Amino acid sequence: MSDKKPYRDDQLKILLTQEQIEDKITELGKTISSDYAGKDLIMVGVLRGSAYFMVDLSRKMHIPFAIDFISISHYSEQADSAGVVRITKDLDLSITGKHVLIIEDIVDTGLSLGYLLRNLKTRNPADLKVCTLLNVEARRIVEVPVDYRGFDLPNIFVVGYGLDYNERYRNLQFIAEFSRP
Amino acid sequence: MGIITISREFGSGGETIARLVAEKMQFLLVNKETIAQGLAEYGIEKPVPRLEDLIGGEEDQAGLQYLEAMHNYIYDLAIRNDLVILGRGGSVLFCDYPPALHVKLIAQFTQRVQRVMKLYDLKPETAVKLIKEQDCSTRQYYRRVFNMNWANLRSYDLVINTQKMALEDVADIIIAAYRIHALPREIKDAPGGVEIEDRVFISPTEAEAEQFMHSSEEEFAHMLDFYRIRWEYEPKTFLLEWDSEGNVIEAFSPDFFLPDQDLYIELTTQKPKQAWKKNRKIRRMKELYPDINVRLIDKKGFESLLRKHSIDHDEGEEI
């Protein structure tokens, strides 16, 4: 029962330009590089939304590090009512004893990130931190630590730069507020 | 006076089951229609088509009088007759009468939709709409007339999920339960009588199963379950205001409590203009209970939550 309205009705209002995003990522790359200098860092991108951010951020880093990706199932109407969140693509690397930085496109409710943190913690990394491009504190249900953040957003729905609506709009180079009439 | 009250979720087969129970027991069936007919004989007419509309916000004298007349009429009937009372808050009206058996009939939403489609020859969307409207109006009726939560299963003696059973079987179960429940112990234990102790008693469906006031709350609970977040539904009521005599005049029960987060959550799908009352309650709660964490998820927040998970949310009743 997904939205049947035609996409031509979607309204997008640019919120963060390509330039603003680039500048912020350069800044984050610098901070993270200096914080993790001399440490065995694994950056863990959470698929699929963070793919764009992960790639761009990794190119702004000036220390050695490894990258890996993880993906978890998300709640949807189709989900079996008895279903629970699970990892659909696990890490390929072992993170035990490593410094792990989770890379998220957006942290809002904290529900999926909360699960991810609980799961990764059991693998005994040296430490576990979170970097997100967008942070929507107003939607938080579960408290999660956010160590690095690009932008704080109010309670709005956004698309672009990896963020989708029904798998659309991920490839936009900017971030826009999304609405449907 | 034998009393069986039957409350049902619309589409769970209540009408038929009540009629069957009444026929088999030779009890008098009391429902909306028979009440209207009975009162009409006394010259009391329903003031408007829908009683539910009447007893809304403003004090409506005609509505209240009709309600009172209706309740008196049912009580009068009960003195002289054995009754099967379908709906109309029967379980509340006879809550202090121990021999009465209070039954609640429930069924899966999808099952109810199918039944209603077949019964009234409706399209799925129409059936869904009708069921939601009926549920909503019953809930409001209980809330306004009795100040009670209709969905609370704890006010019933027997709860039956009708979806896997033939309606006649459900009727027989109710009759069996009534006989066991209403007859004095001595008779039940008398020699030659049915060996009650050996019988498997019909167990009510999970009394602990949460009954939500609103579909969005149910959706939210599913989401929490999915992410393995422990929650409790309306576990606590916070007193907010007292009059000069110390009577509580305002209280607030947040929808959810997440024990691991130590957080109360109130969900609203009202538009901001109408949500001020809830906002005010939450502000008041924060003033009075500064150590308690409470968070409001508003219409916008809830919609983006659903949108994020690509779930279409049919508007439904605002909460």
pLDDT, greater one: A52 or B311: A52
Q: Are residues B24 and B80 in the same domain?
A: yes
> Which of A2, A109, A156 is the closest to B305 by Cβ?
A109
- Mean predicted confidence (pLDDT) in B73-85: 88
Closest CA of chain B from A114, distance in Å: 8
Tell me how many degrees the CA angle B26-B29-B32 measures, rounded to the nearest 5.
Answer: 175
User: Does B208 reside within a domain?
Assistant: no
High-pLDDT (> 90) share of chain B, %? 15
B40 phi/psi in degrees, rounded to 5: -60, -35
Chain B positions in Cβ-Cβ contact with residue A139 (cut-off 8 Å): 297, 301, 304-305
- Residue-range definition of the domain harbouring residue B225: 215-308
pLDDT exceeds cutoff 90 at A15: yes
- Residue-range definition of the domain harbouring residue A113: 20-72+87-153
**Which pLDDT score is estimated for B142?**
80
Q: Looking at the 3D structure of chain A, how many domains does it have?
A: 1
A108 is catalytic: yes
Chain B positions in Cβ-Cβ contact with residue A117 (cut-off 8 Å): none
Highest mean pLDDT among A163-177, B69-83, B96-110, B276-290: A163-177
pLDDT exceeds cutoff 80 at B95: yes
- Mean predicted confidence (pLDDT) in A83-104: 92
pLDDT exceeds cutoff 90 at A5: no
Quick: pLDDT tens for B131-167: 888 887 887 788 778 877 787 788 898 999 998 889 9
Q: Is A112 on the interface with B (CB under 8 A)?
A: yes
Q: Say if CB B128 and CB B113 are below 8 A apart.
A: yes
Q: Are residues B157 and B30 in the same domain?
A: yes
User: Does A25 reside within a domain?
Assistant: yes
Q: Is A122 on the interface with B (CB under 8 A)?
A: no
User: Does B185 reside within a domain?
Assistant: yes
A25: domain CATH number is 3.40.50.2020
Q: Are residues B118 and B81 in the same domain?
A: yes
> How far, in Å, CA of B292 to CA of B179, rounded?
48
- Mean predicted confidence (pLDDT) in B275-303: 85
Write the CA distances from B82 to B1, B27, B29, B246, integer angstroms: 5, 5, 9, 42
User: Does A12 reside within a domain?
Assistant: no
The region of weakest confidence among B3-7, B245-249, B307-311 is: B307-311
pLDDT tier at B46, thresholds 50, 70, 90: confident
pLDDT exceeds cutoff 90 at A162: yes
User: Does A47 reside within a domain?
Assistant: yes
Q: Say if CB B86 and CB B14 are below 8 A apart.
A: yes
Tell me how many degrees the CA angle B153-B159-B161 measures, rounded to the nearest 5.
Answer: 115
pLDDT exceeds cutoff 50 at A180: yes
Of the three residues B169, B198, B227, the one that is the final residue of a domain is B198
Chain A positions in Cβ-Cβ contact with residue B223 (cut-off 8 Å): 75, 111
The region of weakest confidence among A120-129, B55-64, B227-236, B242-251 is: B55-64
High-pLDDT (> 70) share of chain B, %? 82
Chain B positions in Cβ-Cβ contact with residue A1 (cut-off 8 Å): 311-312
Q: Looking at the 3D structure of chain B, how many domains does it have?
A: 2
**Which pLDDT score is estimated for B125?**
82
Q: Which of A108, A147, A152, A164 is catalytic?
A: A108
**Which pLDDT score is estimated for B75?**
87
- Mean predicted confidence (pLDDT) in A40-61: 96
Q: Would you give the end-to-end CA distance of chain B in angstroms?
A: 40
**Which pLDDT score is estimated for A81?**
46
Of the three residues B139, B167, B198, the one that is the final residue of a domain is B198
User: Does B82 reside within a domain?
Assistant: yes
> Which of B225, B226, B312 is the closest to A3 by Cβ?
B312
pLDDT, greater one: A166 or B4: B4
- Mean predicted confidence (pLDDT) in B4-17: 91
Q: Is A166 on the interface with B (CB under 8 A)?
A: yes
Tell me how many degrees the CA angle A163-A166-A167 measures, rounded to the nearest 5.
Answer: 55
Sign of the Cα torsion B30, B35, B37, B38 reads positive
**Which pLDDT score is estimated for A33?**
97
Quick: pLDDT tens for B176-222: 999 888 766 554 444 443 333 333 333 333 334 456 777 788 888 88
**Which pLDDT score is estimated for B159?**
92
> How far, in Å, CA of B254 to CA of B267, rounded?
8
B262: domain CATH number is 3.40.960.10
Q: Is B226 on the interface with A (CB under 8 A)?
A: yes
Q: Are residues B48 and B138 in the same domain?
A: yes
Interface touch A84/B225, C-beta < 8 Å: yes
Q: Is the peptide bond before A48 cis (omega within 30 degrees of 0)?
A: yes
Q: Residues of A numbered 26-65 whose beta carbons fall under 8 angstroms of chain B's beta carbons: which are they?
A: none
**Which pLDDT score is estimated for A35?**
97
Q: Are residues B40 and B189 in the same domain?
A: yes
**Which pLDDT score is estimated for B19?**
92
**Which pLDDT score is estimated for B68?**
84
- The number of residues making up chain A comes to 181
Which DSSP category does A144 fall into? -
**Which pLDDT score is estimated for B196?**
38
B118: domain CATH number is 3.40.50.300
User: Does B314 reside within a domain?
Assistant: no
